[in-house]
Amino acid sequence: MASSIVGGPPRSGRRPESDYRGPYLLVRPGAYRSGMSPRPTIRDVADRAGVSIATVSRVLNDRADVSVETRERVREVARAVGYSADPAARALAIQRTQLVAVVVGDNAGHRDLSLLFFGKVLAAVSRRLAHSEYEALLLEAADASVHHRFDAAIVIGVDHDDPIVLELASQGVPLVGVDVKLAGARSTYVGSDHADGVRLALAHLYARGHRRIAHVAGALNTVAGADRIAEFRREAERLGLALSDEYVRHGDFSSASGYRETCALLALPDRPTAIVAASDLMALAALQAIRDAGLQPGRDVAVVGFDDLEAAALAYPPLTTIRQDRQELGTTAAARAIELIEKPDAIPPETILPVELVVRSSSLASPG
C-alpha cells in the first residue's frame, strides 16, 4: 500500500498519489521584476493547474506517465506564470525524488496500535516535510522495496532487524528510526525518554505511599518495551521495592494483554497496590479488569499508563500517564530525514525527547 499522508489541510483539486517530484524547478530569470508580484513557486503552478506538486515536476522534467491533457494544462500554466525547469538542475532531479517514505510496521503484530499512537506523529512528519518542499509516501513495511523511489525513509513500528530495514540500509538509503534503533551507516534515531518516563511514574506512586508496584510490560522486541521494563527493574531496586517476578508481567502494548496480565496480578495472594503499564491501551484495560474484579480503580489499585492518548483523559477514572510529545517526534524525525538527504556527509546525532507526567484520578489515592 502506498498513499500520501494527510497531515494538514487538503490541497484543493489534488489527488492522492505516489508520483515522484523533483525540487530542481526554477523560476525563469527576469520573469518578475521589482514592484511586481512575488515569483511563482512550483506550488503555485500545481494549485492553478489543479494537480499535485509531484505531477508538475514530472511534466516539467518530461516524465512519460502523465496524461496528455494534464501535461498540456501544466505547461500552459507554467508558461503563463513564467515558471520553467532549469536544464542543469533537471539532471540533478533524476537523482532526487523529493519523496520521503514513511514505513509503518505492525508494532509487534498490532498494526492498529501503530496507527493509533503514531497518527499525530505521521501528521507532524507530513507538515514538516511539506515545509521543506518534500512529500511523504506512506508505505507498509512489505511494500517499501526498490519498486518505490524515495530519498530517505522514516521507519516506525518496525523491528530493527526486519528484512526491509536491512535491505534499505544495504542500499545506502538514509534512515530515521522512530523508536527503532537502526544499524545502517546513514541512519539516526528519534525517540522519547522511556527510562525517565518510568522513573517519573514510580516516583509519583512511591510518593503516594505505594510499595507493591507491578509493571505490565510492552513487547520486548521494541525499544519502548525493552527500555521501560529495564528501567522499571532498575528504579524499583533503587527505591527498595519488594519486586518479585510475579510483579513483572509481559504484555504487547495491546488492550487484550493489559486486561489479561492485570487479572493475573489481581489474583496474586499479595496483589499490588499500583500498576505501571507500558502503554495507555494496557492501562485502560487494567482499569476495566480492576472493576471486573470488584475493586475500584484509583482507590483500591492505582494505575499509570504511558503515551497520553486522547482516551486517557476521558477514561473513568481519568488515567494518570506519561505524555510523549508525538508532534515533536514527527517534526524531529522529518527534520533528521531532510538533514540526511541534504547533508550526506553528516549523520545527525540521536535525539531523545523529554516526557511529562500527567497526573489524573487513577493514581491519586494512597494504599489503604
Residues 334-358 pLDDT 10s = 999 999 999 988 888 999 999 999 9
Residue 274 placed within a domain: yes
73-100 mean pLDDT: 70
Residues 161-215 pLDDT 10s = 778 888 888 888 999 999 999 887 899 999 999 999 999 999 999 999 999 999 9
What does the alpha-carbon distance between residue 301 and residue 283 come to, in Å, rounded to a whole number?
12
pLDDT of residue 119: 87
Q: DSSP strand E in 193-337: where?
A: 213-217, 248-250, 274-277, 302-307, 320-323
| Beta-carbon contacts of residue 305 (< 8 Å; ≥ 6 apart) | 277, 279, 280, 282, 283, 284, 312, 319, 320, 321, 322
Residue 213 placed within a domain: yes
Backbone angles phi, psi at 187, to 5 degrees: -140, 155
- Given 77, 93, 109, the domain boundary residue is 93
Do 161 and 281 lie in one domain? The reply is no
Mean pLDDT of the chain: 83
Residue 12 placed within a domain: no
Q: Which of 15-19, 165-169, 219-223 has the lowest mean pLDDT?
A: 15-19
Residue 4 placed within a domain: no
Residue 112 placed within a domain: yes
Backbone angles phi, psi at 101, to 5 degrees: -75, 140
Omega before 317 within 30 of 0, i.e. cis: yes
Highest mean pLDDT among 114-123, 124-133, 352-361: 352-361
Q: Where residue 79 sits, what CATH number does that domain have?
A: 1.10.260.40
Do 120 and 227 lie in one domain? The reply is no
Do 142 and 256 lie in one domain? The reply is no
The size of the chain, in residues, is 368
For the chain, the maximum distance between any two Cα atoms, rounded to a whole number of angstroms, is 83
Do 205 and 316 lie in one domain? The reply is yes
pLDDT of residue 157: 82
Map residue 332 onto helix, strand or coil.
Answer: helix
Do 218 and 310 lie in one domain? The reply is yes
| Beta-carbon contacts of residue 363 (< 8 Å; ≥ 6 apart) | 204, 205, 208, 274, 298, 302, 303, 304, 320
Cα angle 52, 53, 59; round to 5: 95
**Structural domains in the chain (count):** 3
Do 278 and 336 lie in one domain? The reply is no
What does the alpha-carbon distance between residue 219 and residue 250 come to, in Å, rounded to a whole number?
7
Residue 221 placed within a domain: yes
pLDDT of residue 57: 72
Do 85 and 184 lie in one domain? The reply is no
Do 86 and 112 lie in one domain? The reply is no
What does the alpha-carbon distance between residue 357 and residue 40 come to, in Å, rounded to a whole number?
47
Quick check: pTM over 0.85? Answer: no
Residue 156 placed within a domain: yes
4-18 mean pLDDT: 35
Q: Where residue 115 sits, what CATH number does that domain have?
A: 3.40.50.2300
For the chain, what percentages of helix, strand and coil (3-state, to nearest 5) are there?
40, 20, 40
Do 118 and 232 lie in one domain? The reply is no
Q: Which residues constitute the domain of residue 144?
A: 99-191+326-352
Do 84 and 116 lie in one domain? The reply is no
Residue 186 placed within a domain: yes
What does the alpha-carbon distance between residue 216 and residue 203 come to, in Å, rounded to a whole number?
17
- Given 43, 78, 93, the domain boundary residue is 93
DSSP bridge pairs for 215: 248, 276
Do 73 and 126 lie in one domain? The reply is no
What does the alpha-carbon distance between residue 217 and residue 161 come to, in Å, rounded to a whole number?
21
What does the alpha-carbon distance between residue 339 and residue 319 come to, in Å, rounded to a whole number?
38
Backbone angles phi, psi at 18, to 5 degrees: -115, 30
- Given 39, 60, 93, the domain boundary residue is 93
Do 115 and 208 lie in one domain? The reply is no
Q: Which of 132, 105, 147, 118 is nearest to 5 (CA)?
A: 118
